[in-house]
Amino acid sequence: MESPQDSFEAPATAPARPATGLGAVSLLRDVAISVALAVILIVFIYQPVKVEGTSMMPGLTDQERIFVNKYEYKLGANNIHRGDLVVFHYPRDPSQSFIKRVVGLPGDRVEILEGDVYVNRERLDEPYVIDEYRDHDSRPPQYVPPDEYFVLGDHRNSSSDSRSWGFVDRPLIYGKAVLVYWPFEKIGRVR
């Protein structure tokens, strides 16, 4: 007599199902969700932007494409740091957007002596400004007002920035440059 443990029946294989439209519906659903997530990501968090001009050379060059994180600065003004590359509405014409590097934070004393930037009387280390792009002008000390920022282009002798049109109000800053995505050979974090 066989014990229940000794008997074994092979499991029945499931009968083949006729092809239905469920695979197509599933694919369409997945594509729709992916598109919706991409739209949310681009509209609310990351925005693709084209760099126009040479004021941020050599780090960013004319016609490069970058992603701007629009969400990071919505969390509060105190998460803007010295050295950040910010995208903002130009103070003299808010229909235009500029990208510059934050040099002076609210309350800072900013002075430029023969092209060297001093913040709170200490020389700022700026490895992103190469000698051939540095100007040798001097500017008297300025105190950055509350809720405003002093910004400069990295190509100092070819940049329209806080030296010529003043500080940038915090509400005008809408994003932080984070990633170069075109051309392919330069893909990577913005420095």
Catalytic residues: 55, 100
Q: Residues 139, 111: contact at Cβ < 8 Å?
A: yes
Of 149, 154, 169, the residue nearest 51 (C-alpha)? 154
Q: Residues 135, 157: contact at Cβ < 8 Å?
A: yes
Rg of the Cα atoms in the chain: 27
Of 94, 79, 60, the residue nearest 165 (C-alpha)? 94
Q: Residues 168, 82: contact at Cβ < 8 Å?
A: no
Distance CA 12, CA 167 (A): 77
Q: Residues 156, 150: contact at Cβ < 8 Å?
A: no
Query: What is the maximal distance between C-alpha atoms in the chain?
Result: 105
**Lookup result for tokens 């969390």:** 75
Find the DSSP H helices in the chain: 22-40, 162-165
